[in-house]
Structure 1
Amino acid sequence: MTMSHSPRRRRALLHALPLASLLLGATACGGSDNPLADRPYDAAGQVGLNVQQGHKADPSKPVEVTARGGEQITDVTMTDAAGRFIKGELAPDGSRWHSTGALSAGAHYTVRVSTEDEDGAQGRRTAGFDTSPADRLLRVAFGPKSGTYGVGQPVTAELSEPVQDPAARAVVERTLRVDAAPAVQGAWHWVDNRTLHYRPKEYWPAHTVVDVHANLEGIKVAGGLYGGPSRPVRLTIGDRVEAVTDAGAHSMTVFKNGEAVRSIPVTTGKPGFATRNGIKVVLGQEAFVRMRGTSIGIAEGSSDAYDLPVYWATRVTWSGEYVHAAPWSEGSQGWENVSHGCTGMSTANAKWFFDNVRVGDIVKVVGSAGATMTPFDNGFGDWNMSWEQWREGSALAAGKREGTGPADTARLRPRL
């Protein structure tokens, strides 16, 4: 919103002040020659807009208001259908005004203009118009679906079209909102041109409520690409549950809210099939799954081939790494690593584990001869990146000192 008083209007006001009592008396008698006391006239003929009546405006171009025939623009307000003001700039001489704020595609706007003629009389014009719909829409699908998750669960945003340009990425990222109670510092990270992940600096605090939504609809992203609709999600974070497996000690310790609640003898991957080190996040659970060696590239008939019914399986990678019941290896559990990469335990322990963890809980492996879990291509390895590395994947925070970039002002906010 831009407001300005013209020199003529200021002169009229200054001249009127010494005669205030006289003017008040004249008003009380029912008459006045003061132009400020008159009802504003219709200035439709004296004010022009660069939007033709009956036509839709191009949202990529500014709206312009111009004065005609000696009129002077004194004030302009422009609002969208929700009543939000669009920024603009008024020329010093009051001859024109133009919008400087971004317009949305497929939106309705109202412009209210105040004017003053050479005699100081006040005019008004109100005009409404619509902007053209977008040529292409960029939609956002948030994940996971609303529900209760563990403290390691990242938020995901899948875009309907690729976005590569850094400036366009910044536009998108600025509209993706993550609000939480309690507030936690966090940032988005561009996994690729169509996928973003959001995580806090540290694991989510237990029992946090996280609301995720986008303010992207109608916003220009790049060229003819504008933001489309999206559906919000709400995540409720459960207890802080972490399972830490020491592959060298053949043991898993499960912690709940910082307290060790169970120690489980396990077997992990043998040489050639070593279990991945690092932090993983529970992806899903299956009470029964058929596991075959061919699914991980083991040829049928080889010495390592297997085809087994497996119960109480908790998945931690998309490639097939689970924590599951392995009654066939109970003699090795706690003593030797003999699996093909999964973490095996007794049926009773696997059932307990299955019942006490949920999607999003942390499963960490240390002391294995295997490689470290990758961040994005085989599940949620997001936590294996340092916070500094994570911020470098943000279009708003990359290259900026923590606490100074736009991403820091758009971090998780407390819900009021």
Structure 2
Amino acid sequence: MGNVTRGWAMITALVMVTPLALAGCGGSGDKPEFVGASTQPTASPTPPAEPVVLAITPEAGAAKQPVSTEIGTTITGGKITDVTLTTEGVKVAGSLREDSSSWVPANPLKYGKKYDATVTATGTTGQVETKTTSFTTMTKPGSQIGSGLYLFDDKVYGVAMPVVVEFSPGIPKKDRAAVQRRMFVDTVPAQPGVWHWVDNGTQAYYRAPEYWQPETKLTVRIALEGIPLSNGRYGNVDRKATTKIGNRFEMKVDNATKQMTVFENGNLVRTMPVSLGKKATPSSSGTMVVMEKKESTVFDTSDDPNPANRYVTDIDFAQRLTWGGEYIHAAPWSVAQQGRTNVSHGCVNLSTPNARWLFEKTKTGDPVTVKGTERKLEDGNGWTAWNLTWAEFIKGSALPVPDALAAGNAPAGPTPSTGATPGA
């Protein structure tokens, strides 16, 4: 078992209601039933168009606004058709959220700058309503919260790779909904998902009901710079990544047989003997993902409180599964036990040839499922998003989850109520 330092890595249903044809009952004969009654239909008056009512925020003249400020919009009788934000005559890029509740700048605003916003709404018959406002942003705060995104541009990840965001210190519960609304994920093809917060608020994971489809494009923006928190801190930086999901590559380890079966795009491609953690230091049972890969490294457990677990060992083809130090790796010293008995300190031991072959095939984010050991995987000990059922996972969202998405039958499109991309 190694101890390696951690790195920072929307349905509107258009229902067309057809008026029912009303059948009239008439009297017999050639004359109307009521003599003198008009037989000509009376035209119904055209109802007046609903007036456009528009309100925007921030309030005109507002000062010391966070650089995470959005242009809030409330509209009845029409829809938002244009938002323009400028500073010193320069136009700021941005887009509306899917529900038109606000317009989100594409990048953090600048500290200590004046901004002018114009919002235009158009009614159902073409009437136009325009509102303007201006505000000034705050100076850069001294107290910030650190954050990290475990995705990098242009890298290919496995089908089980959750979007993982880390916070230091953790986000207080009362702030998580506001933070989650600023964490945007867009997938092509569309596979809406949900955010899940680990209990202490130091990590949040985003995933869909099922593994990502191979070749999915993921575009992520963790737009936290300047967002105010209740503990007096502010988000430190926006983090972005555009990346891709590769082929479906899965590893399954069964303690009963001491074998690892490897599947590529659903096909069994290899079976390999393993040795897992002995009873004193059992391997974790659950669904994990490859978090990190190192062709060679050193496992140093000199600070373990149990002297029997202290060692310094050179390791080849190491693939991290947990923060606690469980890996898949080459273990030439346990080849005789592989497939027969468990002798490791919690890791999945392979022969060097098997470990090398596996290392050359895997990607960060490939799923690894271990079953039948004496210990269950602890939530948050690694990227444990897939160790929960979908029903369990969505309970960790700080925002309401749409019914269709909660049922695992999400519409094809972004779901901003769960923190997805606004009009990407």
Partner of 1:80, secondary structure, is strand
Partner of 2:368: 363
Q: Of residues 247, 250, 255 in structure 2, which corresponds to 1:242?
A: 250
Partner of 1:343: 348
Larger radius of gyration: 1
Kept after mapping to 2: 8 A contact 1:180/1:209: yes
Q: How does 1:351-390 map to 2 (within 5 A)?
A: 351-368=356-373, 370-376=374-380, 378-390=381-393
Query: What amino acid does structure 1 have at the position aligned with 2:242?
Result: R
Kept after mapping to 1: 8 A contact 2:183/2:221: yes
Q: Of residues 171, 180, 183 in structure 1, which corresponds to 2:178?
A: 171
Q: Of residues 375, 388, 398 in structure 2, which corresponds to 1:395?
A: 398
Q: How does 1:176-191 map to 2 (within 5 A)?
A: 176-191=183-198
Partner of 1:251: 259
Q: How does 1:281-360 map to 2 (within 5 A)?
A: 281-291=289-299, 294=302, 296-299=304-307, 307-360=312-365
Kept after mapping to 2: 8 A contact 1:264/1:349: yes
Change in Cα spacing, 1:182 to 1:271, as seen in structure 2 (3 Å) is: same
Q: Of residues 200, 210, 213 in structure 2, which corresponds to 1:205?
A: 213
Query: What amino acid does structure 2 have at the position aligned with 1:385?
Result: L
Structure 1 unmatched ranges of 5 or more = 1-48, 64-76, 88-99, 114-123
Q: Of residues 272, 279, 285 in structure 2, which corresponds to 1:277?
A: 285
Q: CA deviation at 1:128?
A: 5.8
Partner of 1:397, secondary structure, is coil
Structure 2 unmatched ranges of 5 or more = 1-58, 72-81, 97-101, 120-129
Kept after mapping to 1: 8 A contact 2:83/2:117: yes
Counterpart CA distance in 1 for 2:95 and 2:359 is 53
Task: Point out the more displaced range, 199-208 or 220-229.
Answer: 220-229
Counterpart CA distance in 1 for 2:103 and 2:238 is 23
Query: What amino acid does structure 2 have at the position aligned with 1:207?
Result: E
Kept after mapping to 2: 8 A contact 1:182/1:414: no
Counterpart CA distance in 2 for 1:223 and 1:324 is 42
Kept after mapping to 2: 8 A contact 1:280/1:363: yes
Q: CA deviation at 1:411?
A: 6.2
The two structures have a TM-score, normalised by structure 2, of 0.63
Q: CA deviation at 1:179?
A: 0.5
Q: CA deviation at 1:355?
A: 0.8
The two structures have a TM-score, normalised by structure 1, of 0.64
Counterpart CA distance in 2 for 1:112 and 1:314 is 52
Q: CA deviation at 1:213?
A: 0.8
Kept after mapping to 2: 8 A contact 1:143/1:233: no
Q: CA deviation at 1:344?
A: 1.4
Partner of 2:63: 57
Query: What amino acid does structure 2 have at the position aligned with 1:357?
Result: T
Counterpart CA distance in 2 for 1:407 and 1:345 is 42
Aligned residues: percent identity?
33
Q: How does 1:6-17 map to 2 (within 5 A)?
A: none
Counterpart CA distance in 1 for 2:378 and 2:239 is 29
Change in Cα spacing, 1:222 to 1:250, as seen in structure 2 (3 Å) is: closer
Counterpart CA distance in 1 for 2:94 and 2:211 is 38
Query: What amino acid does structure 2 have at the position aligned with 1:396?
Result: L
Q: CA deviation at 1:203?
A: 1.6
Q: CA deviation at 1:215?
A: 4.5
Task: Point out the more displaced range, 351-360 or 319-328.
Answer: 319-328
Higher normalized contact order (CA 8 Å, seq sep 6+, divided by chain length): 2
Query: What amino acid does structure 1 have at the position aligned with 2:382?
Result: G
Q: CA deviation at 1:389?
A: 2.0
Query: What amino acid does structure 2 have at the position aligned with 1:337?
Result: N
Partner of 2:240: 232
Query: What amino acid does structure 2 have at the position aligned with 1:175?
Result: R
CA displacement 1:2-46 (0-9 Å, x = unmatched)? xxxxxxxxxxxxxxxxxxxxxxxxxxxxxxxxxxxxxxxxxxxxx
Q: CA deviation at 1:189?
A: 1.6
Partner of 1:117: none
Partner of 2:314, secondary structure, is strand
Kindly indicate which of the two structures has a greater share of residues assigned to helix: 1
Query: What amino acid does structure 1 have at the position aligned with 2:368?
Result: V
Q: How does 1:32-47 map to 2 (within 5 A)?
A: none
Query: What amino acid does structure 2 have at the position aligned with 1:314?
Result: Q
Counterpart CA distance in 2 for 1:138 and 1:161 is 6
Change in Cα spacing, 1:337 to 1:414, as seen in structure 2 (3 Å) is: farther
Task: Point out the more displaced range, 197-206 or 175-184.
Answer: 197-206
Change in Cα spacing, 1:412 to 1:263, as seen in structure 2 (3 Å) is: farther
Counterpart CA distance in 1 for 2:117 and 2:220 is 32
Q: CA deviation at 1:253?
A: 0.5
Task: Point out the more displaced range, 124-133 or 337-346.
Answer: 124-133
Task: Point out the more displaced range, 204-213 or 289-298.
Answer: 289-298
Query: What amino acid does structure 2 have at the position aligned with 1:317?
Result: T
Q: How many residues align?
A: 321
Change in Cα spacing, 1:325 to 1:58, as seen in structure 2 (3 Å) is: closer
